[in-house]
Amino acid sequence: MLFNSLTFLIFLVCTLGLYYTLPHKYRWYLLLVGSCIFYMAWRIEFIFLILFSSFFNYYIGILIEKYNSKGKFILTFGLIINFIILFIFKYSIFINHSFMALYNYFNIPYPIKDFDIILPMGISFYTFQATSYTIDIYRKRYKAEKNILKVSLYIMFFPQLVAGPIERADRLLNQLFLKHNFNINNISTGIKIMLIGYFKKIVIADRVAILVNTVYNSPYDYSGISFIIATIFFAIQLYCDFSGYSDIAIGCAKLFGINLMENFKSPYFSKTVKEFWTRWHISLSTWFKDYLYIPLGGNRKGTIRTYFNLMITFLVSGIWHGANWTFILWGGLNGFYQIIGDLKHKFFKYIGFNIKNKYINNFFNVFKILITFSLICFSLIFFRANTVKDAFYIVNNLFSDIANISNIQYLYNISTELGLNIFEILASTGCIILLFIIELFEYKQRIYITLNKLPFIIRFIFYYLITIIIISMGVFSNAGQFIYFQF
C-alpha cells in the first residue's frame, strides 16, 4: 500500500476515524491491526517474517533483562539471528552473483545455480529498529516491555514501517499507548506536513524520475551535459522521494497525536559533507553513529583509528543501502569525503585560517554549499548507476561535451532527448525553485511553524497553492514506488 495511492488515503481516513471513536484502551490494538493490514496489502506472506522479528526481539529483550550476567551473549545471539535473516533476503543473491562473476572470470565452472529471492519491503528499516530495541535494553537505557503485542506495534507502526524514520523505543514506544484526545491542531499540522511530502514526491520526484531513468538506464546513448543534468535531477529526485516519504510518515503519525523524529533538515544547504550527514536521513545516520561508529571506538582512539572507523561505518552504510558494488563504492566515497574534510579542517585550524569580513564569509559559505552539493552529486552517480561499469562510463564522460555548454541550440537539442518535453522541464525546474525556497525556511525550523506566525491569508495562499500544484502537476498514473522501499 503506497502512500501516494487512493487506497492508502481511504485506509488512513478509516483508521483515523475508528481511532478517535474507540475507547482509549482499544486504540493501540487498532493501530496494530491496521499496521498488519497495511503491510499485508503488499504481500500477505511476509507478515509472518515481520511478526517473527517482533516476537523474537521481544523475547531477546526479556532474556537480556532476566539473565543480566549473560546479557552480552544473549544480545550477540539476537543480533546474529536478525542479521542472518537480513543477509539471506537481501544479500544472498548479491554474494552468489559476485562469486559467479569471479569464477567466470577465471573460466572455472561455478557450482551454485542462479536463484531469486523476493526482498521483503522495509526489512532493513524494521530490522534496525528491532535491534536498537534489544541493544538499548542491554545498555540499560530502558526496561524490556512485558507485552509482546506492544513491542510488535513499536516495530510495525505503519507510518514509518517500510522506510523510517528509524525510531528508538525511548521515543516511540510509550507514545503509542498514551491517551491522545482528538486535537484539531494535530490534524491541521499533520495535513500540512503531508502536503509538503506529497508535493515533493508526486510533483517533483516522480516527474524528474522520468528524465533520470531515461539517461541512467541507457547511459551509452548520452554524453557529458546529459549526465550532469540527470545527476543533478537525481539528487533532487532522491531527496524529494525520501524526504517526501518521511514528511508523509511524520504528518500521518501526527494525525494520531504521535510525534516521529525529524529525518531531514535542508541537507543540500550543508557547507560540508560532515554537516550533510547530520541533516540527511538523520535517523539512519544516528543509528550508525550510536550502534556502529561509537562501539568501534569513534574518535577516542587516535586519528588513524578514527578514520578507519569512519570508513567502516560508511562502507556498511553503503552495503545497507543496496546489495550492489555501486552502493559500496558510494559509501566508500562518502567515507573518503569525511576523512579529507577532517584533514582540511585540521589544516585550516593549524594555519589559523579565519575569514572575519561578514560579506566575504557569506560568499565563502555559498561557495562551500555549492562544493558540498557537487561532491554529493558526484557520489550519487554510483548510487544511481545500474552497474559499476555504467558508473565509471558516466564518470569518464562527465565533461565530454562541456565545450558546448554555452551553445543554446545544442542545449535545446539534448534537452528534447531526456524523456521530458520543454514544458515539463521548465515546470519541474519552477517547482524545484519553490522547494528550495521552502528549504531555506526549513533550514532552522519546519515551514509550517514559520507560517503559523504569519497572518491567516498568507498561510491559506501557500497551502492552497501547494494543493493546486499537486492536483494539476502531480504524477498520478502509475504512481511511483518510493526509492527507499528497495532498502
Q: Which residues are catalytic?
A: 321
Fill in the DSSP letter of residue 113: P
CA atoms within 13 A of residue 113's CA, in its CB half-sphere: 2
CA atoms within 13 A of residue 155's CA, in its CB half-sphere: 29
Q: Residue 137 is placed in which grid cell? A: 535494553
* Secondary element (H or E) of residue 347: helix 325-351
Give start and end residues of each alpha helix (H) in 201-281: 206-216, 224-255, 273-279
Which string of b and e fits 138-150 if b means at least 16 CB within 10 Å?
Answer: beeebebbeeeeb
Q: How far, in Å, CA of 137 to CA of 71, rounded?
A: 9
Whether residue 165 has a cis bond before it, omega within 30° of 0 = yes
Dihedral of alpha carbons 12, 181, 261, 29, sign: negative
Instruction: Enumerate residues 6+ apart whose C-beta is below 8 A from 132.
Output: 166, 168, 169, 287, 290, 291
Instruction: Enumerate residues 6+ apart whose C-beta is below 8 A from 54.
Output: 130, 148, 151, 152, 155, 156
Q: How far, in Å, CA of 193 to CA of 48, rounded?
A: 32
Query: Does residue 295 contact residue 363 with C-beta atoms inside 8 Å?
Result: no
